[in-house]
Amino acid sequence: MDRWRGRVALVTGASVGIGAAIAKVVGCARDIEKLQKLAAECQSAGHSGVFVPYKCDLSNEEEIVSMFSAIKSQHKGVDVCINNAGVAHPDPLLTGKTSGWKNMLDVNVLGLCVCTREAYQSMKERNVDDGHIININSMSGHRVVQNPDSHFYSSTKYAVTALTEGLRQELREAKTHIRATCISPGLVETEFFQRLYSDNPEKAAAPLSTLKPLEAIDIANSVTYVLSAPPHVQIGDIWMRPVEQVS
């Protein structure tokens, strides 16, 4: 990990757990108060890195481009881009709301692609040839479960699987050593289900009630593992589930 010291990483969706591994992390999300709280926690915990909060709506291309411009002027550019932001809405294919589908596409697919494009351009203009783009995907990008509420969400994660491989191929064609990786977790103890079923606490609690889920730090550790791989090693995808998870 020493080669990342002094480098800049962008984490969408205000990730936690990797601040100590990378010298400077720019975390973006819509909720600036949560970001500022996280920045204070990182500082009080004595992490060697710096957490820089930045308010950005990942469904808005103008805000994303403006964020990258600010990173360029304040920190020179991005060396690592971790596309962690994602949303889900319980909108089935037969009865779902178009607005929910559109929001999932805007954040999970288009927002990820815009961040990826801008991160690559940032690396290219500074002749950074060892950068890394990491997409936090999902096991839902590799199989479809029998839950109508997750079907459209799953389609956006299948897109992330295809986009990551397409990105890897385009990076090879560009004759760069920038790497592209997917990390695909199963059930994780986060706010995901509380947000998905915000009007039904019992339904939100059900998926994690019968097993020991992954924790956010497990995902952060996998990011650290990917970043610490030797420069000649391309890790394409990491599938990770709780041991007790069936699907």
Active-site amino acid positions: 153
Look up tokens 């889920």; give the residue. Answer: 213
Catalogue the E-assigned strands of 30-144.
50-55, 80-83, 132-136
Q: How far apart are CA 96 and CA 83, in angstroms?
A: 26
131 token code pair: 């950068």
Residue type present at position 118: E
* Dist. CA 104–CA 102, nearest whole Å: 5
In terms of C-beta distances under 8 Å and separation of at least 24 residues, what long-range contacts does 153-161 make, across chains too? 153/88, 153/89, 153/104, 153/108, 156/86, 156/104, 156/105, 156/108, 156/109, 157/108, 159/108, 159/109, 160/108, 160/109, 160/112, 160/135, 161/137, 161/237
